Chains A and B, each alone.
Chain A
Amino acid sequence: MNLLNQVIQGILLGGYYALLACGLSFMFGVMRIINLAHGSLTVVAAYLLWVLAEPMGWHPLLALLAVVPAMALLGWLLHQLVLERSARLGALVPLLATFGLASVIDNVLFQHFGADTRSLATSIGTLAYDSWELPGGLYVGQLPTLVLVLAIVLLGGLHAMLAHTALGRQIRAASEDADTARLVGVRTGTVFAAASAITMVTVTLAGASLALRATFDPFSGPQQLIFAFEAVIIGGAGSLWGTLLGGVVLGVAQNLGAQVHPQGFLIAGHATFLVILLARLYASGALRRFFSTRRRAAP
């Protein structure tokens, strides 16, 4: 029964990872950009919510309504000022640019808010720790369940938007062949900026979940980025539903690892990520090509 309980808790934790990874996966799927500032931007959203909810006393939901459009605007500007310009210079430049951006964000947050950890858990009353009792003595946290449902709704909504709306068609066309998309009238710059804004909406929801269910500090970003990255790779880069699966696999692996050893939480997650990464590289033939190239290069 304890094992089943850990699996359930892992699935619920996976809901948060899926929510966190959703934006990273979406941006990679649409623009082929790995945004290394993703985790730091999630923490920015968490801080914005905290500022409105704690010092200013807004209800967290009201704060969320204000932060979502602000982060969407930030996403638009991020595309226009950083991503588009750096993507023109080659595939590696956006990596460097977003890595630099992450460092700037982390240190600005540290300078402004200090090293104290923050949380919004106290703003939502008992929802932060209430749970439902299931038959067999199993308990399911209400907040983690809401986060999982939010992740499923968000991923489903993104999927439906891409499949059934004019903007979705334009995003997919621009993602597949930007030159040809322009030849049929798609304003690819605007479309990618809109995709970046949508990404920031998902980042805001992930930041809200982080702030409500845990603590965060200015340097929480890189850790969140690693979890998001692992979920994306496990589920398949660019696949939205794969991201949900990846998050769940990562969450279950971490929870089961924690049962084996106190340090097992992180180690089991990283080990699962590495095994699946190597399996994917092997299946694609990349691993064999890498070793055959090294053999040829050896004197």
Chain B
Amino acid sequence: MNALLTIESLSAHHGQLPAVRDVSLQVRQGDILALVGANGAGKTTLLRTLAGAHRASGGTVRWDGVDITRMPANERVAEGLALVPEGRRLFAGMTVRENLLVARAAGRRGQWSFDTVLDAFPQLVPKLNAGAGELSGGQQQAVAIGRALMTNPRVLLLDEVSLGLSPLAVRGVYDALRGVMGQGTTLILVEQDLQRVQAVASRIVCMLEGSVVADAPADQLTRAQITAFYFGVQRPDPAPGGGATGSANGEAADDASRAPQAHQTHQTHQAHQAHQTHQAHKEVA
């Protein structure tokens, strides 16, 4: 099957600081791809770059074979690429109904309409005329996902949908997302909860310092392996041709014996990042 979304050597910066480095991925129709990695690994920047909310500094993003790297965000939405941003970013001065209806601007027709979104998130029905800023975190997340679904996306990008929510609210959000997956929508989600990632995703991509260090089917990665990639304990095998994709079949890290090493490596990375930041600031100055 041809890739729906092809990312080739994509890079993105925050000022002088590289946030995404030379990332290459292919996403096919129906994939449930989870991006995992520590804070600052570049997951959110990668999602925002894919959605057109952040400018790529290098590489290309292809959508059904067409280069969309410089395409504005609203045009990507019209093509079927929608982002649920970190922190929900609802229009607080508008009601729940208005937050959902405004996403009709994309003009895409499909299975998702105002009514079907409310079917997927019935907890919003009594809140339709309430201000979006007055809702609980779980309800706000439901509005944010519903708003993105109103654009009838072929690929839905979800950034930390469980962040700041109670376990009950997280369960509610993921129950609703299962319905979305059942409709054949492709998902790329950033999630910190590894247990949930393994339960939901068909494919897991680990990022470290802006690069992809592992990319494998979810059932071929153990939690210990993901944790090892997460902290940089397990590095990608040097692939021929310098590819960024790491080995998913490396020796599993033993939680007990690797934990101190992982901690040490994490500290080393932090020190490395701090040094890079300092250097970049000096360059800017």
By a beta-carbon cutoff of 8 Å, the part of chain A in contact with chain B is: 166, 169-170, 172-173, 176-177, 179-188
Contacts and interface: CB of A to CB of B under 8 A. Distances in A.
Contact of B105 (A176, A179, A180, A184): A184
B53 A169 contact: no
What range describes how many residues of B lie at the interface?
20 to 34
Given A185-B104, A187-B105, 6 more contacts: A169-B94, A176-B93, A183-B77, A184-B102, A185-B105, A186-B105
B148 interface: yes
A185 B148 CA distance: 9
Contacts of A188: 74
Interface of B: 51-53, 72-74, 77-78, 82-83, 85, 89, 91-94, 98, 101-108, 147-148, 150-151
Contacts of B93: 172, 176
Contacts of B83: 183
B74 A173 contact: no
A183 B105 contact: no
Given A166-B101, A173-B102, A187-B105, A182 B91 contact: no
Nearest to A170: B105
B158 to A, nearest CB: 13
A212 B166 CA distance: 63
Most chain A CB neighbours (cut-off 10 Å) among B52, B73, B104: B73
B85 A180 contact: yes
B77 to A, nearest CB: 4
In the A-B complex, list the 9 residue pairs whose CB atoms are closest, starting with the nearest: A185-B106, A185-B77, A182-B73, A184-B103, A185-B105, A180-B89, A169-B102, A186-B105, A182-B74
Contacts of A183: 51-53, 73-74, 77, 82-83, 85, 89
A184 B91 CA distance: 11
Contacts, number: 72
A254 B104 CA distance: 47
A14 B83 CA distance: 47
Contacts of A177: 89, 91
13 contacts: A166-B104, A169-B94, A170-B102, A173-B91, A176-B92, A180-B91, A183-B51, A184-B147, A184-B148, A185-B74, A185-B77, A185-B106, A187-B74
A177 B98 CA distance: 14
Contacts of A172: 91, 93-94, 98
A183 B77 CA distance: 7
A236 B121 CA distance: 38
Given A172-B91, A173-B91, A182 B72 contact: yes
A166 to B, nearest CB: 7
Contacts of A184: 77, 82, 102-103, 105-106, 147-148, 150-151
Nearest to A171: B102
Contacts of B52: 182-183
B160 to A, nearest CB: 15
Contacts of A173: 91, 94, 102
Contacts of A181: 91, 102
